[in-house]
Amino acid sequence: MSTDRFTLLNGAGQPQGSGPRYIAIGPPAHPRMILKRFASLALLASFAAASFAQQQDPSTIGKLESLLYHIDRMYVDDVNKQQLVDAAIVRMLEELDPHSIYIPKEDLEEVNEPLKGNFEGVGIQFNIIRDTIYVVDAIPGGPSERLGIRAGDRVLTIDGENSAGVGFKNNDVMKRLRGKKGTKVAVTIARRGEAAPLDFSITRDKIPIYSVEASYMAAPHVGYIKVSRFSATTMKEFREKLDELKAMGMQDLVLDLQGNGGGYLRTAIEMADEFLGAQKLIVYTAGRTSPREDTFATSEGRFEKGRLVVLVDEGSASASEIVSGAMQDWDRGIIVGRRSFGKGLVQRPVMLPDGSAVRLTVSRYYTPSGRCIQKSYEDGLEAYRHEKSERLSHGELTSADSIHLQDTVRFYTMNKRVVYGGGGIMPDVFVAIDTTLSSDYFGQLVRKGILNTFALSYVDKHRDELLRKYAGVQQFATNYLVDDLLLDALDAQARTEGVAQDTEGMQRSKALIALRLKALLARDLWDTSAYWQVINADNPVDRSFQRALEVLADDTFQRLGMGR
- Residues annotated as catalytic (active site), given as ranges: 318, 329, 343
In angstroms, the CA 103 to CA 97 distance is 15
In angstroms, the CA 136 to CA 527 distance is 9
Contact 263, 229 (CB under 8 A): yes
Q: What residue type is assigned to position 461 of the chain?
A: K
In angstroms, the CA 51 to CA 30 distance is 24
Contact 259, 14 (CB under 8 A): yes
Q: What is the crossing angle of helices 510-525 and 528-537, to 10°?
A: 150
State the DSSP H helix or E strand holding residue 504, giving kind and residue range, or none if neither: helix 503-508
Contact 218, 544 (CB under 8 A): no
* Spatial CA neighbour of 536 closest among 219, 83, 69: 219
* Spatial CA neighbour of 174 closest among 34, 280, 404, 20: 20
State the DSSP H helix or E strand holding residue 190, giving kind and residue range, or none if neither: strand 184-190
Half-sphere exposure of 104 (CA within 13 A, CB side): 18
Contact 222, 208 (CB under 8 A): no
In angstroms, the CA 320 to CA 335 distance is 12
* Cα 54 to Cα 6, 50, 101, 275, 427, distances in angstroms: 21, 8, 19, 41, 43
- Specify the pairing of strand 205-208 against strand 212-219: unpaired
In angstroms, the CA 147 to CA 294 distance is 48
* Spatial CA neighbour of 95 closest among 290, 378, 485: 378
Q: What are the backbone dihedrals phi and psi of residue 253, each rounded to the nearest 5 degrees, phi first?
A: -135, 135
In angstroms, the CA 461 to CA 454 distance is 11
In angstroms, the CA 493 to CA 342 distance is 40
Q: Is 131 helix (H, G, I), strand (E, B) or coil?
A: coil
